[in-house]
Structure 1
């Protein structure tokens, strides 16, 4: 049964990791009804490491853009010197944007999870950022973004998007939600905000996944069954993420993020009601 549960959780992770609707919030809800028959330490590690499959989907989908070592471009032609230079600049921007999370985020991550990883906080963050998305989209209605190509994203804006990413340390905020919202406020197009969010997630999520699994292995070891559960969940998250990313990039070409704001508010209200009802059951 744990392998079936791992598949379901992998599907949820694959869909929600890249959409601005909080993968953590959805996993908390799912785990209320789909409980892995494993230790609390394993489940805590599982929720982070499952993101590794989602990361790989970005690497595969954007390999031509992310590989700076004279790889092929979208047209299956050898990258020009200019294209290679732009790829290195993109990685420099990602590194700069990761600095706030490295300096501020990692030291506070465990403490924030210990104190804020609960239904009420997640619900409130879902609602707050849902309202923020709706408000920002209305504010942007008559404005034209001044960064419409990720190659022209300034280093300063990349760093500020990284500051927004730190906000996602509070469960329910959504890493993609915080960074996309930050990108929109700072003047990027929806496509640039979403794409940079994908790239920014690679080192952050890879680092967090590696740290969690190493710490778990050192303190508890990893059984063959647990390894299988992780592998299945990651593979499912990888496949579903491929579809979710493609869908989101097509969606933002014609739509704004208002729908996701409304979805977050509705889900947050449902979570609050559930948390209250649960107290009396």
Structure 2
């Protein structure tokens, strides 16, 4: 893996990890376009490393909120964090949001790995986009929004978001953030609060998944790949940090359906260039 490829994939990971367009899908499709085998052990290890860079970025954005959840930060000090000061949100909400996906991922881990293909991702982009449009429509038309900010999310809503997250675990390319944000909006959580909760629960679940995968893949990090891995990690961190900040600032202007339209276009383009 050369440096240019590491930079490109680091940028792709950073841009797509936390917005509802499927980072897994983009990584698979980008690797295919560049002629790389996205199922090789080195590529799998590299993807884990740059994903850790993106995780670190989101952890930094929500650092005050995370410290508060861990009891290491006073409520008054969280006012500088993204969103409102911590109130009702606690570790039980986080556990309810991540346990279903972790359980499903562990039980079906062997089956899930067999689903990583370009065709699977293309269909996931389309179906996931339709689901996102439905969630936005349902939230505005029928859902009684009871959680305008993250601290108003109930245990039931946190658990429902966790259940919806299982879709992305079982279907590569569906998008973790797309399923959780949509699930939140269907459950009566506002768009902004759904995004905040989605980003926050991404930290523990991605650390758990990446850590588990890294135990099998760390041997691929040697002197020949170390530089490329390090560059990809740094690029992913920087890009993910900037993208999340921009997304949170523009969240009222960039609705969920806009990402769905992008997914449709992406699926069509890659269907032409990859599947034919």
1:15 aligns with 2:15: yes
Residue 75 of structure 1 deviates from its aligned partner by: 4.9
Unaligned runs of 5+ in 1: 78-82
User: Partners in 2 of 1:275 and 1:42 — Cα distance?
Assistant: 22
- 2:12–2:26 contact (8 Å) kept in structure 1: yes
Q: How does 1:76-95 map to 2 (within 5 A)?
A: 86=88, 89-95=89-95
Deviation at 1:85, TM superposition (A): 6.5
**Aligned ranges for residues 203-242 of structure 1 at < 5 Å?**
203-217=204-218, 220=219, 222-242=221-241
**Structure 1 residue 73, shift from structure 2 partner:** 2.0
Q: Distance in 1 between matches of 2:36 and 2:108?
A: 27
RMSD over aligned CA atoms reads: 2.3
Are residues 39 and 129 of structure 1, via their aligned partners in 2, closer, same or farther at CA, if it must alter by over 3 Å? closer
Kept in 2: contact 1:120–1:271 (CA 8 A): no
The aligned residue for residue 41 of structure 2 is 41
Structure possessing the higher radius of gyration over alpha carbons: 1
Rounded Cα–Cα distance in structure 1 between residues aligned with 2:77 and 2:49: 30
Counterpart position of 2:96: 96
Give per-residue Cα distances to partners, 1:138-162, cap 9 Å, x unaligned: 3333456221111111011111111
Q: Count matched residues.
A: 267
Task: Give the alignment partner of residue 73 of structure 2, picking from 64, 70, 75.
Answer: 70
CA shift for structure 1 position 90: 2.9
CA contact (8 A) 1:121 1:171 kept: yes
Task: Show structure 1 runs of 4+ deviating over 4 A.
Answer: 35-39, 74-77, 83-86
Are the structure 2 counterparts of residues 215 and 117 from structure 1 closer, same or farther at C-alpha, using a change threshold of 3 Å?
same
Q: TM-score, normalised by structure 2?
A: 0.88
1:129 maps to 2:133: no
Change (3 A) 1:230 1:90: farther
Residue segments in structure 2 that go unaligned for 5+ positions in a row? none
The question of whether the paired residues in 1 share the 8 Å contact of 2:41 and 2:220 is answered with: no
What's the offset of the Cα at 1:39? Answer: 8.6
For 2:202 and 2:60, the matched residues in 1 are separated by 14
Find the counterpart in structure 1 of residue 181 from structure 2. 180
**1:152-171 equivalence runs, <5 A:** 152-169=152-169, 170-171=171-172
Distance in 2 of aligned mates of 1:120 and 1:272: 8
